[in-house]
């Protein structure tokens, strides 16, 4: 019994000293990821590559009340990223080996897109842990099927949530930031002259 009490006090001490890292997701609302009104998708087949190692990377950023939040940026945003590319181009495929240019050309892939995802969060709440502000930065490096640079697209998304909103969805600020970043990505892609050549 004394040992159990000791474990409890040790756990409480860790919480006080270091805070907790609560799990959330950045999973975007796919219905919110659409091509802007009047814009036409680019008539090209594109491939995208996200290494498996990045899909398994868990990131920890600040929450409220001294706590933190943890999530998987690449794994969470990938469905929305695929939707963004599907809205921007007429055909999209996942690429396993981005260095196999012969396979890309044989498969009819015109462009290869590799995303880099950077996130951050914060909260103005002293007693609640979910973030009230969240940011997502996407840098998409785009090369042709021969590996030659074509374009680099950079967008940033911001999302906010108040206590009355996130009390039923602790991930709300992150979801809104993902939605914002992906909507901006679609716009940047379809409006890029370099990608339509």
Largest CA distance in the chain: 73
Q: What is the mean pLDDT of residues 78-83?
A: 98
Percentage helix, strand, coil, to 5, in the chain? 35, 30, 30
**Looking at residues 25-48, what average pLDDT do you find?**
96
Let me know: does 48 contact 94? Beta carbons within 8 Å: yes
Per-residue pLDDT, averaged over 27-40, amounts to 95
CB proximity list for 101: less than 8 A, separation 6 or greater = 145, 146, 147
Question: CA–CA separation, 132 vs 52, rounded Å?
Answer: 30
How much is the pLDDT for 71?
A: 98
Would the pLDDT of 72 be above 80? yes
pLDDT digits (tens, 9 = 90+) for 103-135: 999 999 999 999 999 999 999 988 899 999 999
Q: Which residues are within 8 A (CB) of 23 and not within 5 positions of it... i.e. 6 or more apart?
A: 69, 70, 71
pTM assigned to the model: 0.89
């Amino acid at each position: 019994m004394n040992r159990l009490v000791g474990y409890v006090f040790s756990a409480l001490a860790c919480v006080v000293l270091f805070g907790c890292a609560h799990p959330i997701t950045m999973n975007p609302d796919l219905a919110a990821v659409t091509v802007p009104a009047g814009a036409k998708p680019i008539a090209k087949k594109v491939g995208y590559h996200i290494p498996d190692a990045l899909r398994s990377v868990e990131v920890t950023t600040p929450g409220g009340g001294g706590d933190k939040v943890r999530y998987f940026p690449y794994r969470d945003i990938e469905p929305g990223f695929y939707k963004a590319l599907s809205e921007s181009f007429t055909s999209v495929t996942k690429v396993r080996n981005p260095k196999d240019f012969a396979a890309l050309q044989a498969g009819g892939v015109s462009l290869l897109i590799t995303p880099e995802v950077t996130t951050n969060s914060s909260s103005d709440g002293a007693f609640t842990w979910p973030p009230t502000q969240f940011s997502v930065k996407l840098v998409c490096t785009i090369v042709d099927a021969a590996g030659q640079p074509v374009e680099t697209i950079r967008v940033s998304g911001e999302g906010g949530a108040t206590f009355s909103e996130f009390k039923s969805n602790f991930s709300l600020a992150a979801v809104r930031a993902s939605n914002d970043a992906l909507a901006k990505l679609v716009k940047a892609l379809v409006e890029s002259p370099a990608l339509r050549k």
